[in-house]
Amino acid sequence: MANGRVVHTADRAIGSRQLAALLPSEVLARPGYRGLADAVRTLVLDGRIALHVRLPAERELAQALGASRATVTGAYDLLRESGYVRSRRGSGTWTELPEGHGPVGAHLLPGAGGYSADGDPGIDLAIAAMGAPEDSLTEALAWAAPRLPALARHPGYHPFGLPDLRAAVADRFTGRGLPTRPEQILVTSGAQQAFSLVTALLCRPGDRVVTENPTYANALDALRHARLRTGSIAVSDAGWDMEIAESTLRQTVPRMAYVIPDFHNPTGALMPPEQRLRLLAATRSTGTWLVVDETIADIALDVPAPAPLASLGPRGGADHVITIGSLSKTHWGGLRVGWIRATAKMITELTAVRVSADMTGSVLDQVVALPLMEAMDRTLPARLARLRAQREALVRSLQRHTPEWSWHLPPGGLSLWVDLGEPVGSALSERAGAAGVHIGRGARFGVDPGTFEHRLRIPYTLPADRLDEGVRRLAGALHDGVPLAPAVDRPYWVA
């Protein structure tokens, strides 16, 4: 510790060729020290180079860029002076964030409302989920009611899940191309519990886990609470950087890797089949458990729903892959039904962990989930059509009210990962809160605190008129005359 601050050194490295591949073409064409420093700083703030990653030696990077050694030395000096890298003799130069840098606002949980405007319930643009499809929930309850007396004769403890629901979940995996037996399924209280159980079974405090960066914020919180060390695989609007992912896996040999390959939360990116194969092979060779979160896989708006990643392995699925999912996005988060698919042996071990926390899932939720699972292919198209229309409406509202923002239209999922062009996400979040809009600032999704300040995740899960009102209020907060305080000062060398 120095001045109460933990001092890190590098815990992995990026090669000169890998770094060059991340630099914008203008820097590659005419490498100057200011441009190079600014590009590296942007990569750090965007999570594309994680913190505590050793940068290439100056001579090596100069060679890879076809630049003079003085250019790289000058860039590293600027980065060091402004706090974006540190160096130590013998340890090289590694990425950091300047002291005191971090999110401005309080840590906001989704829905943590408290809106000021008189009686205004506010607009929640932080939750990427919808209410239940009304008709199907009513139908499911009607189907379940006459079956309850028979179920109620049993004491009601089904730690593995209701047998019929385990079978229905297994059948759905089989139908999607991944042959699965009911013994390979544990029914959980949502995908979040599924992830916590897997983490509790496989990891001990201090173990290293790799996640995407950015990633689902509550998964990051679960890893922090379990006191695990997180490394990261960058996901940008262009998708996964699989070469860096492979080298991160090789260098850190993590215990577990957690990925959301289908309409990734928050970017909406869809991992191509070739990258899925590379990820399977890389995790197999490092002996890393690969946890695949399929919670959003069925929200396929412009492409067919992807087959399970595990189905690309040997028939019956690669044993090192654990797949989790839930009914929260296809149906309703209020119905606490999710699952884990793994080997039958691991399911037994996971169930022992589960019993220590909550004994069993709710039988009422599970019996309602049964007909919903079985009718999924019939009910899903209407939900997807609604999401497509709302996505279009959100795009129109953004174009109208905040034309300076940009985004990449995702082929599925529930939200846009909006680029604000300036690191003002936390400041905007505070001002928007006062205007009755709750937003998901980008920093919530970053592995390292203080990154993704120039991003917002805006879900298209509300009706079009609410989305438009939300974006109109955001624009009001943005354009209210007083510039927003950036979470990161622009360094002196950037004009």
Binding residue for ligand PLP, selected from 236, 295, 323, 415, defined by CB under 6 A = 295
| CB 236, min distance to ligand PLP, A | 18
Q: Of 45-53, 237-245, 288-296, 304-312, which segment contacts ligand PLP by CB under 6 A? A: 288-296
Binding residue for ligand PLP, selected from 216, 240, 407, 445, defined by CB under 6 A = 216
* Interaction of residue 328 with ligand PLP, rule CB under 6 A: yes
| CB 326, min distance to ligand PLP, A | 3
| CB 453, min distance to ligand PLP, A | 21
| CB 322, min distance to ligand PLP, A | 13
* Interaction of residue 333 with ligand PLP, rule CB under 6 A: yes
Of residues 440 and 450, the one with the C-beta less far from ligand PLP: 440
* Interaction of residue 293 with ligand PLP, rule CB under 6 A: yes
* Interaction of residue 212 with ligand PLP, rule CB under 6 A: no
C-alpha to C-alpha distance for 467 and 187, rounded to whole angstroms: 34
Task: Show the site string, 365-384: x = touches ligand PLP by CB under 6 A, - = not.
Answer: --------------------
Residue with nearest beta carbon to ligand PLP: 190
* Interaction of residue 410 with ligand PLP, rule CB under 6 A: no
The residues near 184 (Cβ < 8 Å, ≥ 6 apart) are 170, 341, 342, 343, 344, 347
| CB 356, min distance to ligand PLP, A | 19
| CB 157, min distance to ligand PLP, A | 21
Size of the site for ligand PLP (CB under 6 A): 15
* Interaction of residue 123 with ligand PLP, rule CB under 6 A: no
* Interaction of residue 214 with ligand PLP, rule CB under 6 A: no
Binding residue for ligand PLP, selected from 182, 190, 446, 470, defined by CB under 6 A = 190
Of residues 62 and 191, the one with the C-beta less far from ligand PLP: 191
Three-state SS for the chain is CECCECCCCCCEECCHHHHHHHCCHHHHHCCCHHHHHHHHHHHHHCCCCCCCEECCCHHHHHHHHCCCHHHHHHHHHHHHHCCCEEEECCCEEEECCCCCCCCCCCCCCCCCCCCCCCCCCCEEECCCCCCCCHHHHHHHHHHHHHHHHHHHCCCCCCCCCCHHHHHHHHHHHHHCCCCCCHHHEEEECHHHHHHHHHHHHHCCCCCEEEEEECCCHHHHHHHHHCCCEEEEEEEECCEECHHHHHHHHHHHCCCEEEECCCCCCCCCCCCCHHHHHHHHHHHHHHCCEEEEECCCCCCECCCCCCCCHHHHCCCCCCCCEEEEEECCCCCCCCCCCEEEECCHHHHHHHHHHHHHHHCCCCHHHHHHHHHHHHCHHHHHHHHHHHHHHHHHHHHHHHHHHCCCCECCCCCECCEEEEECCCCCHHHHHHHHHHCCEEEEEHHHHCCCCCCCCCEEEEECCCCHHHHHHHHHHHHHHHCCCCCCCCCCCCCCCCC
Binding residue for ligand PLP, selected from 338, 450, 459, 470, defined by CB under 6 A = 338
| CB 141, min distance to ligand PLP, A | 20
| CB 202, min distance to ligand PLP, A | 17
Binding residue for ligand PLP, selected from 16, 236, 283, 326, defined by CB under 6 A = 326
Of residues 333 and 371, the one with the C-beta less far from ligand PLP: 333
The residues near 150 (Cβ < 8 Å, ≥ 6 apart) are none
Of residues 22 and 269, the one with the C-beta less far from ligand PLP: 269
Of residues 166 and 473, the one with the C-beta less far from ligand PLP: 166
Of residues 71 and 330, the one with the C-beta less far from ligand PLP: 330
C-alpha to C-alpha distance for 246 and 406, rounded to whole angstroms: 30
* Interaction of residue 196 with ligand PLP, rule CB under 6 A: no
* Interaction of residue 199 with ligand PLP, rule CB under 6 A: no
- Could you list the residues that contact ligand PLP (CB under 6 A)? 128-129, 190-192, 216, 260, 265, 293, 295-296, 326, 328, 333, 338
